[in-house]
Structure formats: structure tokens, C-alpha cells
């Protein structure tokens, strides 16, 4: 019967010839294939010893930035949380008190800022949304952990360490 698609192939099942029946040539063929793989270069990267280079625009763990004087840039506007497609960001805002001008750049700041790394899809939209250039996904990848609660990164893990810019200028 003519097949509808015209793509039907009838497989022929020929009886095996002598060499196929004694099976030995096929075994030798198989052996030569496995031996070839035996001497092949192994593509595995031995991870902790060998690290593959990250691409320049790799989006890894977030960091909350500081300005030139070491003050936190974030003003808790919530735009990052709003733009986040995975709803991974939550924050609580607070008003800057007198005497805290060296800690926070704006009058309002985030007293709590949390990103749930299990929800985050590392899309980078928070970075794009931020009007204060306060958040960047410039870290390495988020490492494994044992408990779900440990994947909610707070300010202790997100805010970049204090960095003395005057020292950098001297070098």
C-alpha cells in the first residue's frame, strides 16, 4: 500500500552472512571503538582543582554596592522587587537617623534586604531596574547548602564589604 507521507522505508532483514554469524569481526570492531575512546582526551573538568573561566557578562550572586565614601547606595525604592519576575526580593525600609550619614547615602535605606536564591533566576532585571546603581549580579555562582532557609541571603551576605577607595587611588 502506498504510504501517505511517501516516507515509509521498508527495512530489509537479510539473513546474516557467514562473517556476521560467527560474530568475531563485529567483536573486533567493537573492541577497536572502545580502545579508541580509551586514548581519547577526557572532557571532564575536575572542578575544585580546575575552574572554567566565567564569561565577562556572567550573572552570578548579587551584591549591594557602596558609593565612593563607603555608604550603601540602596534607597529601598523597591523597583528591583517590582521588576523581579521571580519575586525573589523582599525588603523593609527605614529612615536614616541623625549621625548615620556616613552609613547610608540616601535619607531612606533598606534595613532588611533579602533575596531568595532558590527563587532567583539570575535574569538581571533587578540590576537594570535600579535607579541608584545599587545592585549588580557580579559575584560568582551561588553555592550549595543544606537547608532552604540558608538560601535566603540577607544584607550580611549581599552588601559588599567596606572598601577604602583612598587606598586604591594611591597605588
Partner 1 sequence: METAFLLEKLILVVVVFTITLVIAMYSTLAERKIAGFMQDRHGPDRAGAFGILQPLCDGSKFFFKEEIIPAGAHKGLFIMGPVIAIITACISSAVIPWGQTLTFGDTTISLQVAEVNIGVLYIFGVIALGVYGIMLGGWASNNKFSLMGAIRAASQSISYEIGLGLSLIALLMVTGTLSIGEIVAQQSGFVNWNIWSQPLGFIIFVTCAFAECNRVPFDLPECETELVGGYHTEYSSMKLGLYMFSEYINMFVSSALMAALYFGGYNFPFMHDLGLSANWITIIGVLVFFAKIFAFIFFFMWIRWTLPRFRYDQLMRLGWKKLIPLAIANIVLTGVIILIKDTFF
Q: Does 35 bind partner 1 (CB under 8 A)?
A: yes
Q: Which is nearer to ligand SF4, 30 or 85 (CB)?
A: 85
DSSP notation for 4-69: SSS---PPP-PPP-HHHHH-HHHHHHHHHHHHHHHTSPP----TTT--PPPPTT---S-EE-B-TT
Instruction: Quote the CA–CA distance of 55 and 96 in Å, as a whole number.
Output: 38
Q: Does 18 bind partner 1 (CB under 8 A)?
A: no
Q: Which is nearer to partner 1, 23 or 163 (CB)?
A: 23
Cα 166 to its chain centre, rounded Å, is 32
Q: Which is nearer to ligand SF4, 25 or 85 (CB)?
A: 85
74 binds, among partner 1, ligand SF4, none (CB under 5 to 8 A by kind): ligand SF4
Between the CA of residue 79 and those of 87, 96, 171, what are the distances in Å? 12, 19, 37
Q: Does 94 bind ligand SF4 (CB under 6 A)?
A: no
Q: Does 139 bind ligand SF4 (CB under 6 A)?
A: no
Among 61, 104, 120, 158, binds ligand SF4 (CB under 6 A): 120
Among 94, 123, 142, 152, binds ligand SF4 (CB under 6 A): 123
Check if the beta carbon of residue 74 is closer than 8 Å to that of residue 67: no
Binding site for ligand SF4 (CB under 6 A): 74-80, 83-86, 88-89, 115, 120-126, 129-130, 132, 134-135, 137
Amino acid at each position: 500500500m502506498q504510504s501517505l507521507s511517501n516516507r515509509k522505508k521498508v527495512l530489509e532483514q537479510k539473513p546474516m552472512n557467514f562473517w556476521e554469524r560467527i560474530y568475531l569481526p563485529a567483536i573486533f570492531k567493537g573492541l577497536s571503538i572502545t580502545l579508541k575512546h580509551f586514548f581519547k582526551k577526557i572532557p571532564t573538568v575536575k572542578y575544585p582543582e580546575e575552574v572554567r573561566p566565567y564569561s565577562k557578562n556572567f550573572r552570578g550572586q548579587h551584591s549591594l554596592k557602596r558609593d565612593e565614601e563607603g555608604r550603601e547606595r540602596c534607597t529601598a525604592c523597591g523597583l528591583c522587587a517590582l521588576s523581579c519576575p521571580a519575586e525573589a526580593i523582599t525588603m523593609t525600609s527605614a529612615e536614616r537617623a541623625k549621625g548615620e550619614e556616613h552609613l547610608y547615602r540616601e535619607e531612606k535605606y533598606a534595613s532588611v534586604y533579602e533575596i531568595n536564591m532558590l527563587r532567583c533566576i539570575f535574569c538581571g532585571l533587578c540590576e537594570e531596574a535600579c535607579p541608584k546603581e545599587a545592585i549588580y549580579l557580579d559575584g560568582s555562582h551561588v553555592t550549595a547548602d543544606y537547608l532552604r532557609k540558608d538560601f535566603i541571603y540577607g544584607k550580611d551576605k549581599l552588601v559588599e564589604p567596606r572598601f577604602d577607595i583612598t587606598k586604591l587611588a594611591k597605588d
